[in-house]
A and B are shown apart, each in its own frame.
Chain A
Amino acid sequence: MGLLEVQDLTLRFGGLEVIDHLSFDVDEGSIVSLIGPNGAGKTSIFNCLTGFYRANSGDIRFAGKSVVKRTPHEITQRGMARTFQNLRLFRSLSVMENVMSGMHCRTHMGALGAILRSPRQRREEALIHQTAEECLDFVGILHYKDRRATTLPYGDQRRVEWARALATRPRLLLFDEPAAGLNYEEKSRFIDLVRRIREQLRITIFMIDHDMAMIMKVSEKVIVIDYGRKIAEGDCEEVQNDPKVIEAYLGREDEEAH
């Protein structure tokens, strides 16, 4: 049983089938990537997984339980976190505060606790701060923690996103185009980070990206979709040599080499 099981998922916009009876598994502890030409429906899949879109039919099971009808915050609470394709940090807040948002679903002090500043509340605050700092350190930007998030260079803002997702203490981390806009050095650092996340934090990784070289370097399994349908699945070599995959990419205008 995979950590994430997608069964016969279908999503329609108007008359168009954006996701067409899609099924796949992501096993715990693995690094899986989802690729496909532009418009294939990848981000829509992410949105369904994380509860932002409601699928028309099919099921999504996370850790054995169906999440297809759950709200986004419930899904995150259960252990599935995500990053965003177009950077979406909390723009008025510092890097540290951005990352601390991840810990909200792992803590529970409310108004009364805040007002009274009980020992338990102070311990919880300390835990939140500590966890956030650990996540920032893990991605390598602890020294930026008090800076306003939007003042950071682009590559480092991406790292804040990653740290923020890590702070939710997920079992499965969904990366939505994590390498977009990164230069070569930053991309290799990302690959390194992904491996460390899996080795040291034991988090399963599922990602979408366009950068073939990077995907092939880091993934254990690759799922290829086109027009909302799965056209191939397997390890990097199988997928690279699959004629259906080659046709899908060559037959379509792909704007990104890498």
Chain B
Amino acid sequence: MAGNGTAMAPLPRRTGFAGFEDRIFELMDQRGYRYAVLGVLLAAVLALPRFSSNYVLEIFTNSFLYVVLCLGLNIVAGYAGLLDLGYAAFFAIGAYTSGVLTSQFGWNFWLAIPPALALAGAVGVMIGAPTLRLRSDYLAIVTLGAGEIIRILARNLKSITGGPSGLIGIKRPAFFGLELNQISHYYYIFLVMVILALVVSYRLEHSRLGRAWKYVRDDEDVAEAMGIPKSLIKLSAYTMGAMFAGLGGCFFAAKMTAISPDSFTFLQSLMIVVAMVLGGMGKIAGMVVGALVMVLFPEVFRTIGPLRMLVFGIILILMMVFRPQGIWPERRH
């Protein structure tokens, strides 16, 4: 019989705001409450188009896209702990691939998604394979450079990508014959995309691979000692994140029907990083919150205009110093 020393001492209850957060988690741990809350949210989200203006729908549709992008970066940075500053490049690859396939080769939108994902993943492997073997510090700068290079390529390969003015006339996708031309259509399509991304994220997180990402994040040398091939695992996170961005890119291109390299700048990569940090890295709910915040505040951002990046920098520093877990609280075991 295994020796047993200490009986489990229960953790003391926290007071104040932290205690409040703990209490919410206790509540949500009960299945009934959890399903009830999710159910209400789902119903609200489904019913929204009936009660809102096109403007509101536009905002929510954009936030769905942002959630998908944040979820993707969350895999790379939140789960695996890799700082990717060129994330928008994969967004671009997805957008351009599906845009070119549908507008220049007449492909069906839905069929264009797999090749776009595949290409985004392939580029992820190409960039990641040589660089992920190194210490994570180098990754930030290399991904920054890679992102810029891809954007420059998009701007210069005029024949494929339409050059600086970009790709226009991307066909609107059809869904079982119904052409999607109203914002409410896109709302639902994006909603499906986001739910898919949420489910995939959740399943990945709570799996052998998801755990491996976290092991490598917390202590890559010990993870290696536990039999986990750390470079391969990092690469899988990077590639998976790339595919999420690629998916977002496809839908983005279809909605905008016109894309240009200006949508895929470093600022874009940065905004996704900020959204992730604000919401709470490593947490799916945090990604939803962060994406919503970033999309719902463009009014604020518009007034400060060129000072956006400055504010983002300050936000990043303040968040990391004062509330590194982000807006969404961290569960305490």
- Asked if A and B form a direct contact in the complex, defined as CB atoms under 8 angstroms apart, the reply is yes
- Which residue on B lies nearest to A192, using beta carbons? B3
B226 touches A168 (CB 8 A): yes
A102 touches B236 (CB 8 A): no
Tell me, yes or no, whether A11 is within 8 Å of chain B by CB: no
Per a CB cutoff under 8 Å, which of B200, B218, B222, B228 touches A104? B228
B5 touches A155 (CB 8 A): yes
Question: How far apart sit A82 and B217, CA to CA, in the bound complex (Å)?
Answer: 20
B229 touches A73 (CB 8 A): yes
B5 touches A189 (CB 8 A): yes
Tell me, yes or no, whether B15 is within 8 Å of chain A by CB: no
Q: Chain B: residues with CB nearer than 8 A to chain A?
A: 2-8, 11, 200, 203-204, 207-212, 214-215, 217-219, 221-230, 236, 240, 282, 332-333
A76 touches B219 (CB 8 A): no
Per a CB cutoff under 8 Å, which of B6, B200, B333 touches A156? B6
B3 touches A104 (CB 8 A): no
Given contacts A76-B227, A151-B11, contact A128 B218 (CB under 8 A): no
Per a CB cutoff under 8 Å, which of A71, A115, A164, A189 touches B226? A164
B222 touches A94 (CB 8 A): no
Question: 5 new A-B pairs (CB below 8 Å) besides A73-B228, A93-B214, A109-B209?
Answer: A81-B226, A109-B208, A114-B203, A168-B226, A185-B5
* A160 smallest CB distance to B (angstroms): 12
Q: Which residues of A contact B226 (CB under 8 A)?
A: 73, 76, 81, 101-102, 104-105, 164, 168
- Which residue on B lies nearest to A174, using beta carbons? B225
Question: How far apart sit A92 and B203, CA to CA, in the bound complex (Å)?
Answer: 19
A101 touches B4 (CB 8 A): no
A193 touches B236 (CB 8 A): no
Which label, helix, strand, loop or mixed, suits the secondary structure of the B interface? helix
Number of interface residues of A (CB under 8 A): 56
* A166 smallest CB distance to B (angstroms): 11
A88 touches B209 (CB 8 A): no
13 interchain pairs (CB within 8 A)? Answer: A50-B225, A72-B225, A73-B224, A90-B215, A90-B222, A92-B217, A97-B211, A97-B214, A102-B226, A114-B207, A139-B2, A143-B7, A168-B226
* A145 smallest CB distance to B (angstroms): 10
B333 touches A147 (CB 8 A): yes
Question: How far apart sit A94 and B331, CA to CA, in the bound complex (Å)?
Answer: 11
Question: How far apart sit A140 and B5, CA to CA, in the bound complex (Å)?
Answer: 8
Given contacts A115-B204, A153-B6, A168-B226, contact A110 B219 (CB under 8 A): no
User: A-B pairs with CB below 8 Å: how many?
Assistant: 125
* B276 smallest CB distance to A (angstroms): 16
Given contacts A138-B2, A151-B333, contact A111 B218 (CB under 8 A): no
| Complex interface residues of chain A between 47 and 72 (CB less than 8 A to chain B) | 50, 52, 71-72
Q: Mark A78-98, 1 if CB is under 8 A from B, else 0.
A: 000110100010111110010
Question: How far apart sit A136 and B282, CA to CA, in the bound complex (Å)?
Answer: 26
B218 touches A114 (CB 8 A): no
B3 touches A144 (CB 8 A): no
Question: How far apart sit A193 and B2, CA to CA, in the bound complex (Å)?
Answer: 8
Q: Which residues of B contact A77 (CB under 8 A)?
A: 227
Tell me, yes or no, whether A107 is within 8 Å of chain B by CB: yes
Binds B, one of A117-125, A201-209, A238-246: A117-125
Question: How far apart sit A247 and B215, CA to CA, in the bound complex (Å)?
Answer: 44
Q: Which residues of A contact B200 (CB under 8 A)?
A: 115
* A118 smallest CB distance to B (angstroms): 11
Given contacts A73-B228, A115-B200, A156-B6, contact A101 B223 (CB under 8 A): yes
Q: Which residues of A contact B215 (CB under 8 A)?
A: 90, 93, 101, 104
B211 touches A121 (CB 8 A): no
* B14 smallest CB distance to A (angstroms): 13
Q: Which residues of B contact A94 (CB under 8 A)?
A: 333
Per a CB cutoff under 8 Å, which of A72, A100, A128 touches B224? A72
B214 touches A92 (CB 8 A): yes
* A189 smallest CB distance to B (angstroms): 5
Per a CB cutoff under 8 Å, which of B11, B203, B223, B282 touches A115? B203
Given contacts A84-B222, A111-B240, contact A144 B227 (CB under 8 A): no
